Amino acid sequence: MGAKIAYYWNLYWHVLSMQLRSRMSFRLNFFVMLVGVFLREAATLALMVVLVQKFDGLAGWRTWEIAFLYSFVTLTFRNFSSFVGGIGTIPALVRTGEMDVYLLTPSDPLFLINCRNTMIWRSFYNIGIFAVTLYCAYQAGIAFTPGAVCCLAVLILCGMFILFAVYLIVYAAAIRVVEVSALLKILDGVYKQYMVYPIPIYGRVAAWIFTFLLPLGLASYYPSGVLLNRVSGLTMGWGTLAIAAAACLWVAAALLLWRASIRKYNSTGT
């Protein structure tokens, strides 16, 4: 087991260093990109603050609470795309038949696909987004006690893994239906544009869907609500535990589904 972990660890860093070198061949673009992405997120946050301030809050949430929810969602999504976003190439691999190559290697295909295409260099600007999240948390009135800091760290990780599970389920579906770009567009759009607001504003049915069926709320509204004490009936500690348990369940389900789909994989035959 130890040897296996060491093997994957070395492989991960080896592939990563290759990827970083390839990125650095367009050095100017690389650095402008880092600034650009941070600017984009900051601009969206600023717009949201302007909007919510104009309307004196949203559904009982104050401006900085909404700003915290927004920055939490952004941070979770950015962490997801930095560390496990490499799996996003699965539909393209299925479509082109390149998936065969990954399935024939002795290493775990999911791991290889992820680290071959992962964008860990993006974590440079995650640092900036993390700083903004902390600032928004402070402004929203979250006390930085050791317990709250632990809960925040766990909830960010849980959010990342819930997104991993949801996206992996869609990618597993790609093995059967090949084209899932519209479905991914829905996921991206709903998470990045609409989960940045408290989900009860979308109505009971939508809130139920985003909690149990498509658990994007577990990576946005609930963790932020738990930290801000805005979810009735859930304290910070119990809320964190419940979200962590849900994250484990979703990840396990997604991995099972992925394995089942891989067994049914048919190459494009080209």
Partner 1 sequence: MKQLWDYLKVSCKIELENQLIFRSNFFVSILFVIIRVVMLLALWSALYQGKTQVEGISLATMKCYTIVSIVFELFIACKVENSITEKVKDGSISMMLTRPASYPVTLFIEHLAGTFQAVVVWVVPYLLVIFLCGFAKGAQLYLGPWFWLSAAGAYLLMFFYQFFFGMIAFWTQEINGFLQARDAVMLVFSGSMVPLWFFPGRLFSIAQYLPFQAMYSTPLSIMIGKIAGADIRTALLVQAGWILGFGFLAQFCWRKSRRRMIVNGG
Chain positions contacting partner 1, by CB under 8 A: 26, 28-37, 39-40, 42-44, 46-47, 50-52, 54-55, 58-59, 177-183, 185-186, 189-190, 193-194, 197, 201-203, 206
What are the C-alpha distances in Å from 229 to residues 21, 52, 144, 152, 154?
A: 44, 20, 14, 13, 16
- By beta-carbon proximity to partner 1, the closer residue of 129 and 180 is 180
User: Are 134 and 68 within 8 A, CB to CB?
Assistant: no
- By beta-carbon proximity to partner 1, the closer residue of 73 and 158 is 73
CA distance 223 to 227: 6
Minimum CB separation of residue 46 from partner 1 in Å reads: 7
Minimum CB separation of residue 27 from partner 1 in Å reads: 10
- By beta-carbon proximity to partner 1, the closer residue of 3 and 25 is 25
Which of 257, 52, 20, 199 minimizes the C-alpha distance to 140? 52
Minimum CB separation of residue 93 from partner 1 in Å reads: 16
Minimum CB separation of residue 206 from partner 1 in Å reads: 8
Minimum CB separation of residue 116 from partner 1 in Å reads: 19
Three-state secondary-structure class, residue 175: helix
Dihedral-angle region of residue 144 (phi above 0 means left; psi in -120 to 50 means alpha; beta otherwise)? beta
- By beta-carbon proximity to partner 1, the closer residue of 197 and 250 is 197
Specify the amino acid at residue 137.
Answer: A
- By beta-carbon proximity to partner 1, the closer residue of 32 and 249 is 32
User: Are 139 and 92 within 8 A, CB to CB?
Assistant: no
Residue 270 DSSP symbol: -
